[in-house]
Amino acid sequence: MTEFVLAECAPRSVGSARYIVCGLRSLLRYLYVAGHTEVQLEAAVPKVAGWRLAGLPVTFGRAEVKRLLASCDRRTTFGRRDYAVLILLSRLGLRAGEVAALGLGDIDWHAGEIVVRGKGRREERLPLPADVGEALVGWLRRGRPRCACAAVFTRVRAPHRPLASSGVSAIVRAACRRAGLPELNAHRLRHTAATEMLRAGAGLSEVGQVLRHASLLTTAIYAKVDRDRLRTLALPWPGVAS
Protein backbone atom coordinates (compact mmCIF):
# COMPACT_ATOMS: atom_id res chain seq x y z
CA MET A 1 0.00 0.00 0.00
CA THR A 2 2.82 2.35 0.90
CA GLU A 3 4.65 1.63 -2.36
CA PHE A 4 1.50 2.41 -4.37
CA VAL A 5 0.90 5.72 -2.57
CA LEU A 6 4.53 6.78 -2.97
CA ALA A 7 4.54 5.94 -6.67
CA GLU A 8 1.24 7.69 -7.40
CA CYS A 9 1.71 10.76 -5.20
CA ALA A 10 5.36 11.58 -5.84
CA PRO A 11 4.77 13.68 -9.00
CA ARG A 12 1.58 15.32 -7.66
CA SER A 13 0.82 18.40 -5.59
CA VAL A 14 -0.28 18.03 -1.98
CA GLY A 15 -3.92 18.61 -2.87
CA SER A 16 -3.88 16.11 -5.73
CA ALA A 17 -2.10 13.53 -3.56
CA ARG A 18 -4.78 13.89 -0.91
CA TYR A 19 -7.47 13.11 -3.49
CA ILE A 20 -5.63 9.92 -4.40
CA VAL A 21 -5.30 8.84 -0.76
CA CYS A 22 -8.93 9.69 0.00
CA GLY A 23 -10.13 7.64 -2.98
CA LEU A 24 -7.94 4.72 -2.00
CA ARG A 25 -9.33 4.68 1.54
CA SER A 26 -12.89 4.78 0.18
CA LEU A 27 -12.13 1.85 -2.13
CA LEU A 28 -10.66 -0.21 0.72
CA ARG A 29 -13.67 0.48 2.93
CA TYR A 30 -15.99 -0.68 0.14
CA LEU A 31 -13.95 -3.84 -0.47
CA TYR A 32 -14.15 -4.72 3.22
CA VAL A 33 -17.89 -4.05 3.52
CA ALA A 34 -18.60 -6.00 0.32
CA GLY A 35 -16.64 -8.97 1.64
CA HIS A 36 -13.83 -8.85 -0.92
CA THR A 37 -11.17 -8.45 1.79
CA GLU A 38 -11.06 -10.15 5.15
CA VAL A 39 -9.15 -7.34 6.87
CA GLN A 40 -9.96 -3.62 7.03
CA LEU A 41 -6.99 -2.12 5.18
CA GLU A 42 -7.98 1.53 5.37
CA ALA A 43 -5.57 2.23 8.23
CA ALA A 44 -2.67 0.93 6.14
CA VAL A 45 -2.89 3.90 3.76
CA PRO A 46 -0.26 6.50 4.79
CA LYS A 47 -1.22 10.13 5.30
CA VAL A 48 -0.09 12.94 3.04
CA ALA A 49 2.14 15.46 4.77
CA GLY A 50 1.08 18.97 3.87
CA TRP A 51 1.76 21.48 6.61
CA ARG A 52 0.38 24.97 6.08
CA LEU A 53 3.02 27.55 5.08
CA ALA A 54 5.71 24.84 5.10
CA GLY A 55 7.01 25.53 1.60
CA LEU A 56 8.74 28.47 0.02
CA PRO A 57 7.08 30.47 -2.76
CA VAL A 58 8.81 29.90 -6.10
CA THR A 59 9.51 33.20 -7.83
CA PHE A 60 11.17 34.66 -10.89
CA GLY A 61 14.23 36.82 -10.36
CA ARG A 62 14.34 40.40 -11.58
CA ALA A 63 16.51 39.46 -14.54
CA GLU A 64 14.12 36.65 -15.43
CA VAL A 65 11.10 38.98 -15.34
CA LYS A 66 12.94 41.34 -17.68
CA ARG A 67 13.62 38.44 -20.04
CA LEU A 68 9.93 37.45 -19.97
CA LEU A 69 8.82 40.97 -20.83
CA ALA A 70 11.54 41.40 -23.45
CA SER A 71 10.43 38.18 -25.16
CA CYS A 72 7.22 39.94 -26.27
CA ASP A 73 7.57 41.58 -29.67
CA ARG A 74 5.55 44.74 -29.04
CA ARG A 75 5.54 45.55 -32.73
CA THR A 76 2.97 42.78 -33.17
CA THR A 77 -0.60 42.38 -31.94
CA PHE A 78 0.21 39.22 -30.02
CA GLY A 79 3.26 40.86 -28.47
CA ARG A 80 1.32 43.89 -27.21
CA ARG A 81 -1.34 41.69 -25.65
CA ASP A 82 1.13 39.30 -24.04
CA TYR A 83 3.25 42.16 -22.70
CA ALA A 84 0.21 43.79 -21.08
CA VAL A 85 -0.82 40.47 -19.51
CA LEU A 86 2.67 39.77 -18.15
CA ILE A 87 3.16 43.23 -16.68
CA LEU A 88 -0.22 43.04 -14.91
CA LEU A 89 0.78 39.72 -13.38
CA SER A 90 4.28 40.77 -12.37
CA ARG A 91 3.60 44.35 -11.17
CA LEU A 92 0.21 44.01 -9.47
CA GLY A 93 0.30 40.34 -8.55
CA LEU A 94 -3.05 39.57 -10.13
CA ARG A 95 -4.24 35.98 -10.47
CA ALA A 96 -4.72 34.55 -13.95
CA GLY A 97 -8.51 34.55 -13.48
CA GLU A 98 -8.47 38.19 -12.37
CA VAL A 99 -6.58 39.24 -15.50
CA ALA A 100 -9.04 37.30 -17.65
CA ALA A 101 -12.02 38.89 -15.84
CA LEU A 102 -10.75 42.46 -16.28
CA GLY A 103 -13.34 44.46 -18.22
CA LEU A 104 -13.05 47.67 -20.20
CA GLY A 105 -15.21 49.43 -17.60
CA ASP A 106 -12.90 48.30 -14.80
CA ILE A 107 -10.16 50.75 -15.79
CA ASP A 108 -10.59 54.23 -14.28
CA TRP A 109 -8.13 56.24 -16.33
CA HIS A 110 -8.90 59.54 -14.55
CA ALA A 111 -8.33 58.11 -11.07
CA GLY A 112 -5.48 55.86 -12.20
CA GLU A 113 -7.09 52.74 -10.74
CA ILE A 114 -8.47 49.38 -11.82
CA VAL A 115 -11.25 47.29 -10.32
CA VAL A 116 -10.17 43.73 -9.60
CA ARG A 117 -12.73 40.96 -9.20
CA GLY A 118 -11.11 38.40 -6.96
CA LYS A 119 -12.11 35.33 -5.00
CA GLY A 120 -15.54 35.20 -3.41
CA ARG A 121 -16.85 37.81 -5.88
CA ARG A 122 -14.93 40.50 -4.04
CA GLU A 123 -14.31 43.74 -5.91
CA GLU A 124 -11.37 45.92 -4.91
CA ARG A 125 -9.57 48.86 -6.44
CA LEU A 126 -5.84 48.92 -7.05
CA PRO A 127 -3.64 51.80 -8.24
CA LEU A 128 -2.62 51.61 -11.88
CA PRO A 129 1.16 52.17 -12.24
CA ALA A 130 2.26 54.24 -15.22
CA ASP A 131 4.12 51.39 -16.96
CA VAL A 132 1.12 49.07 -16.59
CA GLY A 133 -1.19 51.77 -17.95
CA GLU A 134 1.09 52.34 -20.95
CA ALA A 135 1.10 48.60 -21.71
CA LEU A 136 -2.70 48.50 -21.56
CA VAL A 137 -2.98 51.53 -23.84
CA GLY A 138 -0.62 49.90 -26.34
CA TRP A 139 -2.84 46.82 -26.49
CA LEU A 140 -6.19 48.64 -26.50
CA ARG A 141 -5.26 51.20 -29.13
CA ARG A 142 -2.95 49.24 -31.42
CA GLY A 143 -3.75 45.60 -30.87
CA ARG A 144 -7.15 44.71 -29.51
CA PRO A 145 -9.61 43.69 -32.23
CA ARG A 146 -12.72 45.81 -32.71
CA CYS A 147 -15.51 43.70 -31.29
CA ALA A 148 -18.51 43.81 -28.98
CA CYS A 149 -16.68 41.88 -26.26
CA ALA A 150 -16.38 43.85 -23.00
CA ALA A 151 -13.26 42.06 -21.77
CA VAL A 152 -9.92 43.83 -21.91
CA PHE A 153 -8.09 40.76 -23.16
CA THR A 154 -9.54 38.83 -26.07
CA ARG A 155 -8.42 36.30 -28.60
CA VAL A 156 -6.48 37.95 -31.40
CA ARG A 157 -7.96 35.72 -34.07
CA ALA A 158 -11.69 35.40 -34.66
CA PRO A 159 -13.91 34.59 -32.93
CA HIS A 160 -12.84 37.39 -30.58
CA ARG A 161 -13.95 35.78 -27.34
CA PRO A 162 -12.65 36.85 -23.90
CA LEU A 163 -9.35 35.30 -22.92
CA ALA A 164 -9.86 32.57 -20.30
CA SER A 165 -7.62 32.07 -17.26
CA SER A 166 -6.09 29.08 -19.04
CA GLY A 167 -5.21 31.43 -21.90
CA VAL A 168 -3.45 33.77 -19.47
CA SER A 169 -1.42 30.85 -18.11
CA ALA A 170 -0.59 29.78 -21.66
CA ILE A 171 0.81 33.27 -22.33
CA VAL A 172 3.15 32.91 -19.35
CA ARG A 173 4.33 29.46 -20.41
CA ALA A 174 4.94 30.65 -23.98
CA ALA A 175 6.96 33.61 -22.69
CA CYS A 176 9.03 31.23 -20.56
CA ARG A 177 9.84 29.16 -23.64
CA ARG A 178 10.81 32.23 -25.64
CA ALA A 179 13.00 33.50 -22.82
CA GLY A 180 14.67 30.12 -22.30
CA LEU A 181 13.30 29.74 -18.77
CA PRO A 182 11.62 26.78 -17.04
CA GLU A 183 7.89 26.78 -17.75
CA LEU A 184 6.19 28.10 -14.61
CA ASN A 185 2.54 29.04 -14.19
CA ALA A 186 1.07 32.52 -13.88
CA HIS A 187 0.87 32.30 -10.08
CA ARG A 188 4.67 32.42 -9.89
CA LEU A 189 4.50 36.03 -11.07
CA ARG A 190 2.13 36.77 -8.19
CA HIS A 191 4.75 35.39 -5.80
CA THR A 192 7.36 37.47 -7.61
CA ALA A 193 5.36 40.68 -7.17
CA ALA A 194 5.01 40.02 -3.43
CA THR A 195 8.72 39.30 -3.02
CA GLU A 196 9.73 42.46 -4.90
CA MET A 197 7.43 44.57 -2.71
CA LEU A 198 9.10 43.17 0.41
CA ARG A 199 12.56 43.84 -0.99
CA ALA A 200 11.50 47.42 -1.71
CA GLY A 201 10.67 47.91 1.97
CA ALA A 202 6.93 47.21 2.10
CA GLY A 203 5.54 45.48 5.18
CA LEU A 204 3.60 42.24 5.18
CA SER A 205 0.33 44.06 5.81
CA GLU A 206 0.93 46.27 2.76
CA VAL A 207 1.75 43.25 0.61
CA GLY A 208 -1.41 41.56 1.85
CA GLN A 209 -3.48 44.59 0.84
CA VAL A 210 -2.10 44.60 -2.70
CA LEU A 211 -2.56 40.83 -3.07
CA ARG A 212 -6.00 41.15 -1.41
CA HIS A 213 -5.44 38.35 1.08
CA ALA A 214 -8.31 37.75 3.48
CA SER A 215 -5.88 36.80 6.26
CA LEU A 216 -2.42 38.09 7.16
CA LEU A 217 -1.47 34.46 7.82
CA THR A 218 -1.62 33.85 4.06
CA THR A 219 0.81 36.70 3.47
CA ALA A 220 3.17 35.45 6.20
CA ILE A 221 4.72 32.86 3.87
CA TYR A 222 6.55 35.68 2.08
CA ALA A 223 8.45 36.51 5.28
CA LYS A 224 10.59 33.44 4.54
CA VAL A 225 12.00 34.96 1.35
CA ASP A 226 12.86 38.33 2.91
CA ARG A 227 16.44 37.25 3.65
CA ASP A 228 17.74 40.68 4.60
CA ARG A 229 15.28 40.99 7.47
CA LEU A 230 15.68 37.34 8.46
CA ARG A 231 19.42 37.92 8.94
CA THR A 232 18.67 40.34 11.78
CA LEU A 233 16.80 37.56 13.58
CA ALA A 234 19.32 34.76 13.01
CA LEU A 235 21.39 33.67 16.00
CA PRO A 236 25.12 32.93 15.60
CA TRP A 237 26.07 29.27 15.30
CA PRO A 238 27.40 27.93 18.63
CA GLY A 239 31.18 28.21 18.85
CA VAL A 240 31.47 30.59 15.88
CA ALA A 241 32.33 34.22 16.47
CA SER A 242 29.74 36.62 15.08
Is 95 marked active-site? yes
Is 213 marked active-site? yes
The interaxial angle of helices 77-92 and 165-179, nearest 10 deg, is: 100
Q: How far apart are CA 27 and CA 102, in angstroms?
A: 43
Q: How far apart are CA 129 and CA 109, in angstroms?
A: 11
Which position among 91, 95, 144, 191 bears the catalytic label? 95
Q: Phi first, then psi: what are they for 114, rounded to 5°?
A: -130, 150
The answer to whether the bond into 159 is cis (omega within 30° of 0) is yes
Is 110 marked active-site? no
Burial of 55 (0-12, 13-18, 19+ CB in 10 A): exposed
Which position among 119, 122, 125, 177 bears the catalytic label? 119
Return the exposure string of 62-78: e unless at least 16 CB atoms fall within 10 Å of the residue's CB, then b: eebbebbbebbebeebe
Which position among 18, 25, 160, 187 bears the catalytic label? 187
Is 83 marked active-site? no
Which position among 80, 144, 190, 191 bears the catalytic label? 190
Q: How far apart are CA 177 and CA 156, in angstroms?
A: 20
The catalytic site residues sit at 95, 119, 187, 190, 213, 222
